[in-house]
Amino acid sequence: EVQLVESGGGLVQPAGSLRLSCAASRFAFVSYEMNWVRQAPGKGLEWLSSISSSGATIYYADSVKGRFTISRDNAKNSLYLQMNSLRAEDTAVYYCARTRIAAFDYWGQGTLVTVSS
Amino acid sequence: DIQMTQSPFTLSASVGDSVNITCRASQSISSWLAWYQQKPGKAPKLLIYKASFLDGGVPLRFSGSGSGTEFTLTISSLQPDDFATYYCQQYNSYSRTFGQGTKVEIK
């Protein structure tokens, strides 16, 4: 079955940076759009960014535009999220997810990012 | 950006009840709407895509309808496993925003 495994979360100070990774397996990663979604403690889901299968097309939510950068390495079956200028309100569980027919059909288990001094 | 508004925020129901959750888009999204179920501490699970298509393995008591700006998720004959939070999500050219969620609680 499709597997998505996030890593790279942890505790970071305000204004710091962190890079999340999502390792994909058991499907043709190169053929799918991929996404990052987060969920702050006790809150709802927030879409952050999407990247096309080739990496040529990228979209961001306004809340992270200019601070976060999505990228992918199709040779390594990996998705990334570079997060800069982190704020307390970026504290959340971060999920990667695959797009199929305009929906997110597979999700990772999530990685927790805590922004605190 | 397209905004998604779900109602109600919470819903109290009993096993066996039929429940409806509504999702409204701030502009037309054709049928590009998905529904997800999330349980505490777990990743969301896709239930319905393209407004009315059931994802594989999803029980037939779940159904979706609507197009344009108004959509509905119906759960007929609520089961104990269905008590969870449900989210709608739109998918358009530039964004993929979620509704704020509807928590279905046991009455």
Tens digits of residue pLDDT in B3-51: 999 999 999 999 999 999 999 999 999 999 999 999 999 999 999 999 9
C-alpha closest to that of A86 among A20, A36, A30: A20
Contact between A39 and A93 (Cβ < 8 Å): yes
Q: Do A61 and B97 touch (CB under 8 A)?
A: yes
Q: Chain A partners of B101 at a C-beta cutoff of 8 Å?
A: 44-45
Count the Cβ atoms, other than its own, within 10 Å of residue B79. 11
- CA-nearest residue to A105 within chain B is B46
> If interface means Cβ-Cβ distance under 8 Å, which residues of chain A face chain B?
35, 37, 44-47, 50, 59, 61-62, 95, 99-105, 107-110
Q: Do B97 and A109 touch (CB under 8 A)?
A: no
- CA-nearest residue to B92 within chain A is A102
Tens digits of residue pLDDT in B69-86: 999 999 999 999 999 999
B65 to chain A, closest Cα gap in Å: 16
* Residues B83, B86: Cα–Cα separation, whole Å: 9
Tell me the helices (H) and strands (E) count for chain A, helix number first.
0, 11
B77 to chain A, closest Cα gap in Å: 25
Checking if the pLDDT of B92 tops 90, the result is no
What's the pLDDT score for residue B62? Answer: 98
Share of chain B above pLDDT 70, in %: 100
* Residues B72, B64: Cα–Cα separation, whole Å: 6
Q: Do A104 and B36 touch (CB under 8 A)?
A: yes
Q: Do B34 and A109 touch (CB under 8 A)?
A: no
* Residues B13, B34: Cα–Cα separation, whole Å: 23
- CA-nearest residue to B102 within chain A is A44
Q: Which residues of B30-56 are buried (b: 16+ CB within 10 A; e: fewer)?
A: ebbbbbbbbeeeebbbbbbbbbbebbe
SS3 B21: strand
Checking if the pLDDT of B1 tops 90, the result is no
Strands A10-12 and A111-115: what pairing?
A: parallel
Tell me whether residue A53 is exposed, middle or buried, using C-beta atoms within 10 angstroms of its C-beta: 0 to 12, 13 to 18, 19 or more.
middle
- Looking at every residue in chain B, the average pLDDT score rounds to 96
Tens digits of residue pLDDT in A22-70: 999 999 999 999 999 999 999 999 999 999 999 999 999 999 999 999 9
